[in-house]
């Protein structure tokens, strides 16, 4: 067969299979370590990430840390050993990540933080952080109370605070943001503050202790998330008081359960913190792997929902 005939035959064969690439593109693999399943918010966050990965054709390796940092460190090391393309995680606490993140950097695997930040000396240990401004969420909760207190300027408000997991970014920041704003009114006083670990059961347990210690002198409950607030509402009712009336209830997250509580008159306001970070994470992961520049800090857009708008807004909630 001469050279010309070989060329014609080769062209014909290629034309017969125009849709078959020489090598199929390898799908992007992301290793994701989740905090746990401690709340409605976290469940929605996990679902958003899993759904977005499936929709984008991304191979997701998912690990539930069950609220333990050591489990997350093990998961990250496992992802490094598996040579995933990107590691993403929502850290249980802010500190204690330097060593394992340096291991990821040495392996040339980029890291993306979601929902919660880390406290590290070297900011190059992670490529980007996607999430809410927790300090601003605390401020928004505080501003709502400042406005409410302005209606009765001579009244003192005793506030009890249900903190999130000790050492976690949202617990630290939501506390600081709230305290910063209410400092403008000396009649707003935090009389007790204790962790409820972001769970409904612990929120109820700690609120019961607050009520035993202070009883009817409590005027406001500020909870760092809706699940703790809902648990505390149960404790308030069991103590013979009316949540939302006898004790103002201020919370953060904006889950459906909070809107239902507001419609029932048992909660006064929730500050939104969107868990629907999946699509953003997949998009940023693709850009990072492609070598495209990405913002170091990507803040989600969120609102504040007082009880007055709860009935209208509930049908719009996706989590």
- C-beta of residue 87 within 8 angstroms of C-beta of residue 109: yes
Do residue 127 and residue 34 come from a single domain?
A: yes
Range(s) of the domain holding residue 58: 29-132+275-301
Do residue 267 and residue 138 come from a single domain?
A: yes
Tell me, what's the pLDDT at 290?
96
Tell me, what's the pLDDT at 3?
44
> Is there a domain that residue 8 lies in?
no
Tell me, what's the pLDDT at 12?
42
Do residue 187 and residue 230 come from a single domain?
A: yes
- C-beta of residue 314 within 8 angstroms of C-beta of residue 256: yes
Tell me, what's the pLDDT at 169?
94
Do residue 107 and residue 203 come from a single domain?
A: no
Question: Can you tell me which residue has the tokens 């009880």?
Answer: 307
Cβ atoms within 10 Å, residue 141: 25
Cβ atoms within 10 Å, residue 11: 10
> Is there a domain that residue 311 lies in?
no
Question: Can you tell me which residue has the tokens 């929120």?
Answer: 203
Cross-strand bridge partners of residue 23: none
Rounded to the nearest angstrom, the gap between the alpha carbon of residue 6 and the centroid of all alpha carbons in its chain is 61
Rounded to the nearest angstrom, the gap between the alpha carbon of residue 218 and the centroid of all alpha carbons in its chain is 29
Quote the CA–CA distance of 267 and 235 in Å, as a whole number.
13
Tell me, what's the pLDDT at 25?
66
Q: What is the pLDDT along the chain (319 residues), one digit of tens a residue?
A: 444 444 444 444 344 444 444 344 689 999 999 999 989 999 999 999 999 999 999 999 999 999 999 999 999 999 999 999 999 999 999 999 999 999 999 999 999 999 999 999 999 999 999 999 999 999 999 999 999 999 999 999 999 999 999 999 999 999 999 999 999 999 999 999 999 999 999 999 999 999 999 999 999 999 999 999 999 999 999 999 999 999 999 999 999 999 999 999 999 999 999 999 999 999 999 999 999 999 999 999 899 999 999 999 999 998 9
Quote the CA–CA distance of 164 and 185 in Å, as a whole number.
24
Do residue 185 and residue 260 come from a single domain?
A: yes
> Is there a domain that residue 283 lies in?
yes
Q: Check which CATH number belongs to the domain holding 289 and give it.
A: 3.40.50.2300
Quote the CA–CA distance of 95 and 105 in Å, as a whole number.
17
DSSP string, 261-288: HHHTTS--EEEE-----HHHHHHHHHHH
Do residue 123 and residue 213 come from a single domain?
A: no
Do residue 74 and residue 48 come from a single domain?
A: yes
Number of domains present in the structure of the chain: 2
> Is there a domain that residue 11 lies in?
no
Do residue 255 and residue 268 come from a single domain?
A: yes
Do residue 153 and residue 213 come from a single domain?
A: yes
DSSP string, 180-213: HHHTT-TTEEEEEEEE-TT-HHHHHHHHHHHHHH
Do residue 285 and residue 267 come from a single domain?
A: no
Element housing 161 (H / E): strand 157-163
Do residue 44 and residue 126 come from a single domain?
A: yes
> Is there a domain that residue 103 lies in?
yes
> Is there a domain that residue 23 lies in?
no
> Is there a domain that residue 307 lies in?
no
Question: Can you tell me which residue has the tokens 């989740």?
Answer: 34
Tell me, what's the pLDDT at 301?
86
> Is there a domain that residue 60 lies in?
yes
Do residue 160 and residue 197 come from a single domain?
A: yes
Characterize the bridge pairing of strands 304-306 and 188-195.
Answer: unpaired
């Amino acid at each position: 067969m001469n050279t010309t005939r070989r060329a014609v035959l080769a062209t014909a064969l290629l034309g017969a299979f125009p849709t078959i690439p020489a090598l199929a593109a390898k799908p992007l693999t992301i290793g994701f370590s989740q905090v746990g399943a401690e709340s409605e918010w976290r469940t929605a966050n996990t679902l958003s990430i899993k759904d977005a990965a499936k929709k984008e054709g991304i191979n997701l390796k998912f690990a539930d840390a069950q609220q333990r940092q050591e489990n997350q460190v093990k998961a990250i090391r496992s992802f490094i050993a598996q040579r995933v393309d990107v590691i993403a995680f929502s850290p249980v606490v802010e500190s204690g990540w330097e060593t394992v993140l340096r291991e990821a950097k040495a392996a040339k695997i980029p890291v993306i933080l979601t929902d919660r930040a880390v406290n590290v000396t070297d900011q190059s240990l992670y490529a980007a952080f996607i999430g809410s401004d927790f300090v601003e969420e605390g401020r928004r909760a505080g501003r709502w109370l400042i406005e409410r207190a302005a209606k009765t300027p001579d009244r003192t408000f005793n506030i009890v605070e249900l903190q999130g997991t000790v050492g976690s970014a949202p617990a630290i920041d939501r506390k600081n943001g709230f305290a910063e704003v209410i400092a403008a009114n000396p009649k707003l006083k935090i009389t007790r503050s204790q962790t409820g670990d972001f769970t409904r059961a612990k929120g109820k347990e700690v609120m019961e202790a607050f009520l035993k210690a202070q009883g009817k002198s409590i005027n406001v409950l500020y909870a760092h998330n809706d699940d703790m607030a809902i648990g505390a509402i149960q404790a308030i009712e069991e103590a013979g008081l009316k949540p939302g009336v006898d004790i103002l209830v201020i919370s953060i997250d904006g889950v459906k359960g909070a809107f239902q509580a507001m419609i029932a008159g048992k909660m006064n306001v929730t500050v939104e913190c969107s868990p629907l970070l999946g699509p953003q994470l997949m998009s940023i992961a693709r850009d990072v792997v492609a070598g495209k520049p990405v913002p170091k800090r990507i803040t989600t857009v969120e609102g504040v929902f007082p009880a007055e708008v709860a009935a209208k807004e509930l049908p719009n909630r996706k989590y």
